[in-house]
Amino acid sequence: MFGFSLEAGAVLLRKAVAAFIMTGCFNGEMFISNDDVTLAATTFPIPMFQIPSLLVSLRLRPLIGEDLYCTEGLLWLALSFRDFYNNLSLYEDDDDFFGIYGSADLRRIRFVLVNNRTERFWDQQMDLFTIDRGRMIAPEFHYVYNVVVGIPSGIFGSLIMNLSRFGMTVSALVTETQVTFTVGNVKIVLRKELEECIIGGAVGENPVSLVFHIHYSNTMLRSSFLSKRVWLLGQSNGSSVMLNCPVGTLGNLMFYVG
């Protein structure tokens, strides 16, 4: 069995779960431990348009940490993110309590909502998929990133929109002082000294090249506005790239884009 409560965080969670819906990830997985709750799903690749699959992952931690419990160590559930999103929409700003409970045995999640003033009380259930449908995806959460670029959300938004007019594959050359984003012949430079970006990690004499795609630019853009700043993480050998959008105090929304 597991449970945690969210209150106002339910609004943030709904906005974050919208990223799954916008990318067409209507079904996905939820991993629950005593420390965190992770939602994950991958999009289907669309070979005709050369669109690769995208792994989206939402890790909830700080806000739910206080009363999160999971009696089974680590729990894995498969569910409809569309139903999950719709049930989160029950929460309204002046409600006093919003709790999510469930168990793998009962194959059900319960949403409990209480409003003391209006005496509104909801106890909604949604069914989980049966375990024997097997794992829908096996997300790889264990990359080690050693290069990080922080970009204010406003700048990131206009960067992504400007670049996406010229192509979907971005190459970012990271040095200690600046990041040069290139799509085709178009270059956009963000400079550290102008506070257009923060650069950290294993960036030394040799520039690091990060290559990633922006096929889901609208979702990336909307998700970036859940926080003041987003983080582009990469490896100094350029292997994999992840966009990390903090979701207020709720957790992090991650897009594995390269």
Among 53, 124, 177, 249, binds ligand NAG (CB under 6 A): 124
Q: Concatenated DSSP letters for 46-68?
A: BGGGTBPP-EEEEEE-TTTTTT-
With binding defined as CB under 6 A, does residue 83 bind ligand NAG? yes
- DSSP per residue, 210-242: EEEE-TTHHHHHHHHTTSSEEEEEE-TT---EE
Tell me the C-alpha distance between 237 and 206, whole Å.
Answer: 11
Helix (H) or strand (E) holding 5, with range, is strand 2-5
- Judged by CB under 6 A, which of 23, 235, 244, 252 binds ligand NAG? 235
By CB under 6 A, residue 21 contacts ligand NAG: no
Q: How far is the CB of 101 from ligand NAG (least distance, A)?
A: 14
In the bound state with ligand NAG, the residue whose beta carbon lies nearer, of 50 and 89, is 89
Position with the least CB separation from ligand NAG: 126
Structure letter (DSSP) for residue 73: S
User: For ligand NAG, which is the closer residue by CB, 33 or 115?
Assistant: 115
Q: Which residue from 87, 103, 224, 244 is in contact with ligand NAG, where contact means CB under 6 A? A: 87
Which residue type does 73 have?
A: G
**From candidates 159, 179, 199, 250, binder to ligand NAG by CB under 6 A:** 159
Report, in Å, the least distance between residue 143 CB and ligand NAG. Answer: 7
136 in contact with ligand NAG (CB under 6 A): no
In the complex, what is the shortest distance from the CB of residue 93 to ligand NAG, in angstroms, rounded to a whole number?
Answer: 13
Rounded CA separation 171/184 (Å): 9
Tokens for 3, please give them: 């449970």
92 binds ligand NAG (CB under 6 A): no
| The residue type at 5 | S
Total number of residues that touch ligand NAG (CB under 6 A): 19
Residue 183 DSSP class: E
Query: What separation in angstroms does the CA of 133 have from each of 54, 183, 217?
Result: 21, 41, 31
Least Å distance, CB 28 to ligand NAG, is 14
Q: Residue 154 and residue 159: Cα distance in Å, rounded?
A: 9
Name the nearest CA neighbour of 2 among 61, 72, 60: 72
C-beta closer to ligand NAG: residue 43 or 95: 95
Please, which of residues 168-197 interact with ligand NAG by CB under 6 A? 188
CA nearest to 217, candidates 156, 152, 139: 156
Choose the binding region for ligand NAG from 2-10, 33-41, 168-176, 231-239 (rule: CB under 6 A): 231-239
Task: List residues binding ligand NAG (CB under 6 A).
Answer: 83, 86-87, 90, 96, 116, 124, 126-127, 144, 146, 155, 158-159, 162, 188, 235, 237, 239
